[in-house]
Amino acid sequence: QVQLVESGGGVVQPGASLRLSCVVSGFTFSTYAMHWVRQAPGKGLEWVAVITYDGSNKYYADTVKGRFTISRDNSKNTLYLQMNSLTSEDTALYYCGRKGSAGGWYFPFLDYWGQGTLVTVYS
Amino acid sequence: QSVLTQPPSASGTPGQTVTISCSGSSSNIGFNDVYWYQQLPGMAPKLLIYKNNQRPSGVPDRFSGSKSGTSASLAISGLRSEDEADYYCAAWDETLDGGVFGGGTPLTVL
């Protein structure tokens, strides 16, 4: 069955960096675009970034552009989110999700989600 | 302030039909497909509707989606206690060049 497992979250100070990972199984990772979505405590969902199946194209939310980098290693079935210059506004549960097989490759159509990894930024 | 506007709350009694709206603009809903997600308390979101009105396998036909112009709606018929959750709409925004979610609508089953 399809599984997505995020890791790498933690408690960091403002200005720090973190790299999140999302290891997938149960499907051919290299043929699917992938998303990151986050949810601040008690708040709604916020789309973060999307990457093509081969890593050749990416889009980012304005709130993270220039600070976050989405990437993937298809040989390791792993999606990444490198987060730099973290602020308290980045405190959230970060979910990775598989892009479903319909519509534009970048559409926020996530047919499978992980359970999330928590990032807390505070001083 | 979310790009897609949803009502701050919704409620209904068991067996009723509840509708949740999602209002956008010509750069998102008016141009692209709409997706709906259900988030049960303490759980990850789950896809409910894709491409405006398509249900993934396993989603009961009590859930239906529609789109007209720059607005979309999610209808839940035969309301059940287990439908109590937060519901989110989502679309791609051509102006922002990014995905956008509605603010979410918590549904209470009275």
Residue A62 to residue A65: CA distance in whole angstroms:
5
Taking CB atoms and an 8 Å cutoff, what residues of chain A touch B100? Answer: 47, 108
Residue A2 in tokens: 């399809």
Find all residues with CB under 8 Å of B34, minimum gap 6, and list them: B22, B49, B52, B65, B67, B72, B89, B90, B91
Express each pLDDT in A24-36 by its tens digit: 999 999 999 999 9
Taking CB atoms and an 8 Å cutoff, what residues of chain B touch A112? Answer: 47
List, for chain B, all residue ranges whose pLDDT scores fall below the cut of 70.
none
Name the average pLDDT for chain A: 96
Q: Are B29 and B21 in contact (CB under 8 A)?
A: no
| Dihedral, CA of residue B52, residue B53, residue B57 and residue B62, to nearest 10 | 130
Q: Are B19 and B73 in contact (CB under 8 A)?
A: yes
| Interface with B, mutate which of A36, A96, A110 (most B CBs under 10 A) | A110
Hey, are the CB atoms on B92 and A62 less than 8 Å from each other? no
Hey, are the CB atoms on A110 and B45 less than 8 Å from each other? yes
pLDDT value of position B1? 83
Give the distance from residue A106's alpha carbon to the nearest chain B alpha carbon, in angstroms.
8
Q: Please state, in angstroms and as integers, the Cα–Cα distance from residue A53 to each residue in A46, A116, B32, following that order.
A: 21, 21, 21
* Number of CB atoms found within 10 A of residue A120's CB: 15
Residue B101 to residue B85: CA distance in whole angstroms:
16
Residue B19 in tokens: 């509708």
Express each pLDDT in A63-118 by its tens digit: 999 999 999 999 999 999 999 999 999 999 999 999 998 778 889 899 999 999 99
Hey, are the CB atoms on A59 and B97 less than 8 Å from each other? yes
- What is the mean pLDDT of the segment spanning A57-61? 97
Find all residues with CB under 8 Å of A45, minimum gap 6, and list them: A37, A38, A39, B37, B39, B45, B88, B90, B101, B104
Hey, are the CB atoms on A106 and B2 less than 8 Å from each other? no
Hey, are the CB atoms on B46 and A113 less than 8 Å from each other? yes
B30 CB within 8 Å of a chain A CB: no
Residue A37 to residue B95: CA distance in whole angstroms:
19
By percentage, how much of chain A surpasses pLDDT 70?
100
* pLDDT over 90 at A123, yes or no: no
Hey, are the CB atoms on A44 and B103 less than 8 Å from each other? yes
